[in-house]
Structure 1
Amino acid sequence: MCLGIPGEIVELMADRADFAMVSVAGVKRVVNIGLLEDEELKAGDWILIHVGFALSKIDEEEAAHAIRMLEGMGQAYTDELIALAQSDLGVQP
């Protein structure tokens, strides 16, 4: 199963405009935000992520709802977090 999981942007990477440091379930991870080039992103914004790529910008209420729903899915959510943790975009924080 493929899931999108919410993450909060911690910082935009100054030297790489297409990457951001994002907190997902308490773990900080570099995420490619290149697909959202038309969005004005900043620290504190929430994004929907799948295997290291931001798919859309979402608001905090939507993120909280999605997290509750995903946690209720049990193993599928855990598997998606593992996939995110294993994704390597080749960018050092």
Structure 2
Amino acid sequence: MCLSIPSRVIKIDKKKNVVMVDTMGVVREASLDLMQEGSVEIGDYVLIHIGFVMNRIDKEDALLSLESFDEILRRTDDDV
């Protein structure tokens, strides 16, 4: 099973065809090779799998998912 956490695009490098994304405070690079050119913009939320942006998702859905992940992490920390 794969779990994909919404990531916010913070920078686009068109020359390398990659984006820098923020995933709950962790910044990483992801390839745009599987996306149509121009389909992702700074500020968009995307889902990433094995280093590739797989699709863009709605901001409201992304924020709800991030709230859920944050709650899971808080509850896990409380159990330790």
2:78 paired residue number: none
What are the equivalent positions in structure 2 for 1:46-57 lying under 5 Å apart? 46-57=45-56
Amino acid at match of 2:61: E
Q: How far has the Cα of 1:70 moved from its partner?
A: 3.0
Query: For residues 70 and 2 of structure 2, what CA distance do their matches in structure 1 show?
Result: 15
2:33 maps to 1:34: yes
Q: How far has the Cα of 1:39 moved from its partner?
A: 5.4
RMSD: 1.9
**Secondary structure in 2 aligned to 1:5?**
coil
Q: 1:73 to 1:50 in 2, by over 3 A?
A: farther
Query: For residues 50 and 27 of structure 1, what CA distance do their matches in structure 2 show?
Result: 15
Amino acid at match of 1:66: S
| TM-score w.r.t. length of structure 1 | 0.66
Q: Percent identity?
A: 30
| TM-score w.r.t. length of structure 2 | 0.75
Unaligned runs of 5+ in 1: 75-93
Counterpart contact for 1:5–1:50, Cα < 8 Å: no
**Secondary structure in 2 aligned to 1:65?**
helix
What are the equivalent positions in structure 2 for 1:7-86 lying under 5 Å apart? 7-17=7-17, 19-37=18-36, 40-74=39-73
